[in-house]
Structure 1
Amino acid sequence: MEKPKNSLFLEFLFGGVSTCGAALFTNPLEVVKTRMQLQGELQAKGQFQVHYRNVFHAFITVARHEGVSALQKGIRPALMYQFVMNGFRLGSFQLLNDSLLRDKNGQITMAKSVLCGAIAGTIGGFFGSPMYMIKTHMQSKANLSIAVGYQNECNGLFASLKNIYSQYGIMGLWRGSSGAVARVMLFSPDSLLIPFTASTLSGCAIVACMTPFDVVSTRLYNQKVVGATSKGGVLYSGFTDCFYKIFAKEGLWGFYKGWAASLFRLGPHTVLSLVFWDHTRTLYSRWQHARDIN
């Protein structure tokens, strides 16, 4: 049976809405993760003040110094990022699935599945990059007593976008995107396969592989920029330079700052995304059925 013409649009909509619902609950872990990834930036262990000892201590520290509401910092760009990134990722994957994923017998091939997932992740990561950058800026903005990393000026979502655009042009909105694209093209934490075919071990594997790229993207997005273009990063000139400097200054462990927050976030975010995804589809099916009857 031929699929309806709007199926691609619906895949975009369902994917975006479901992950937005999950982000409402998991954003506090994003705030904590961002702070921990920026803590001790390009400094060896023991040479910086530790404001956040672990995930639970970070929660308490943020709430004590900035109020409980600070744990939802960056929620607006976080929701927009989830909607845009996952909408494009799932929508483009559906399109690729319909045209490329299956062989002549209709069977899914592993090689094509990996390729389509990487392409879909690249598309989603690219279009969601500006929102991820603003989210990072807002989540890292802290009370001076517990501040880590460069403190970007943040005056709200649209004011921040306008400010970056006015200073660095359209390309300034995509600075740091090389890290974000690599982050989402390698693994898909919201994949339907994870909760059904994977165990805790698979979750650990995903975090182990994705966290270094997550740290790099956070550092690239958050660094101070000087000059008239977005290429004038004070600390890192790009993706490769950031990787090298983190390893040289912070060692291998520098790539795994905030890994516990990522691990704690992975399970709830995946499950909640699936729950909202399923309910969104169910509600749409019921609405469509009622419309057909009437």
Structure 2
Amino acid sequence: MALPTCDPKANPVKSFIAGGFGGICSVLTGYPLDTIKVRLQTMPLPVAGQPPKYKGIIDCAVKTFSHEGVRGFYKGISAPLIGVTPIYAVDFAVYAAGKRLFQSDEHVKLTYSQIFIAGAGAGVCSALVTVPSDRIKVLLQTQPVTGPVMYNGLIDTALKLYRQGGIRSLFKGTCACVLRDSPTGVYFVIYEALQDLARRHSKTGSITPTSTIFAGGMAGIAFWSLAVPFDVLKSRLQSAPEGTYQHGIRSVFKELMAKEGPKALYRGVLPILIRAFPSTAAVFIGVELANDLLTF
């Protein structure tokens, strides 16, 4: 997994394939914690005198396992698995295209400002691809265990959403998703900076799987530390019945502040940050591996 000290000219097609593979690695690694995160973010306020539905990450995990078994942690995984290839593929392809705009030849070393701009553009574009699969995933993760089943998998959920509100229903939460993914520029800057540091301290001037795991994991933690409040708002909006929030994310934010206060913006932060390191490390391990195997 060796990289030269100068950036090779970015290849969007190669990055498209590598990004898709990296995304699949990420979903398989981090999905159980994603389910816990969404359930903590979307649980209703307890009735006065009653305990909350989940007391925290451990309680949520125990209740999920006891009521639903291991499969409960993977509810809705088909949506991100099917959607993740284009999402991460677009993310890394747009990032490569953005880098390419700044590269006049193979030996141009990009500045971190240029990396940030390319990464920010990638985040916005990938967010637009993310919305439908995120919407379906959240609904499948949060539907009640008891009572009639409202959604039976990916296709059934997509069809019911389309019948209820057309394309707009599938893309509910687009603004929130774009805001959540806006720190992607930071994500790529942290990764590239830590890999540059690893190269400088390497005898061969190359990165290693260890440095990729560390750089990818830390990039994920940095990204999610900034993105959590928007992710909470997105999950609340996407899991709500049609017509609940007339003004989208603004209505969610107003209600959240009035009823629960600022601390609610960080509900589910622990499983997010625990998941961030391994799942993002898996993305970059997958991307670097694919880049090594792809020879064009």
TM-score range, shorter chain: 0.7 to 0.9
Deviation, 1:212, is 0.2
Instruction: Report SS of the residue matched to 1:169.
Output: helix
Residue 90 of structure 1: CA displacement? 0.9
Tell me which residue corresponds to 1:185. 182
Instruction: Encode CA deviations 1:23-57: one digit per residue, 9 max, x unaligned.
Output: 112100010000000123xx489676422222222
The one-letter code matched in structure 1 to 2:93 is: G
Change (3 A) 1:112 1:283: closer
- Provide the rounded CA distance (Å) in 1 between the counterparts of 2:260 and 2:246: 14
1:107–1:200 Cα change, 3 Å? closer
RMSD: 3.1
1:12 aligns with 2:22: no
Aligned residue for 1:121, secondary structure, equals helix
Q: Is the 8 A contact 2:173 2:248 kept in 1?
A: yes
Q: Pick from 208, 211, 224: which aligns with 1:207?
A: 224
Distance 1:144 1:128 in 2: 29
Deviations 1:224-254 (A, max 9, x none): 00xxxxxxx3145212222222122111110
**Which stretch shows the higher mean deviation, 51-60 or 204-213?**
204-213
The equivalent of 1:34 in structure 2 is: 38
Residue 219 (structure 1) aligned with residue 223 (structure 2): no
TM-score, normalised to structure 2, is 0.79
Q: Is the alpha carbon distance of 1:217 and 1:70 closer, same or farther for their aligned partners in structure 2, counting shifts above 3 Å?
A: same
Q: What is the aligned-residue identity percentage?
A: 24
Structure 1 residue 65 displacement after superposition = 0.9
Number of the residue aligned with 1:59:
61
Taking the aligned partners of 2:114 and 2:233, their CA distance within structure 1 comes to 28
TM-score by length of 1: 0.80
Deviation at 1:81, TM superposition (A): 3.1
Query: CA, structure 1 residues 203+84, in 2 after alignment: closer, same or farther (shift >3 Å)?
Result: closer
Measure, in 1, the Cα distance between the counterparts of 2:25 and 2:176.
25
Match of 1:94 in 2: 96
Distance change (3 Å), C-alpha of 1:201 and 1:67: closer
What is the 5 A alignment of 1:1-294? 7-40=11-44, 43=45, 49-100=51-102, 106-144=108-146, 153-187=150-184, 191=188, 192-193=191-192, 196=195, 205-225=222-242, 233-235=243-245, 237-285=247-295
Greater CA drift, 7-16 or 130-139: 7-16
Any conservation in 2 of the 1:27–1:78 contact (CA below 8 Å)? no
- Secondary structure (helix, strand or coil) at the match of 2:275 reads helix
User: What does the per-residue CA deviation read over 1:115-169, in whole Å, with 9 as the maximum and x for residues that have no partner?
Assistant: 3222211110001210110011111123249xxxxx9931221121122122212
- The whole-number CA distance in structure 1 between the counterparts of 2:65 and 2:193 is 32
- Please give the secondary structure, in 1, of the residue aligned with 2:294: helix
AA aligned to 1:176 is G
Q: Does the 8 Å contact 2:219/2:280 carry over to 1?
A: no
Letter in 2 for 1:251: G
Q: Is the 8 A contact 1:121 1:185 kept in 2?
A: yes
Cα separation, 2, equivalents of 1:29 and 1:188: 24
1:241 maps to a residue whose letter is: S
Gaps of 5+ in 1: 146-150, 226-232, 289-294
C-alpha contact (below 8 Å) 2:187/2:220 kept by paired residues: no
List alignment gaps of at least 5 residues for structure 2: 1-7, 198-214
Equivalent pairs counted in the alignment come to 268
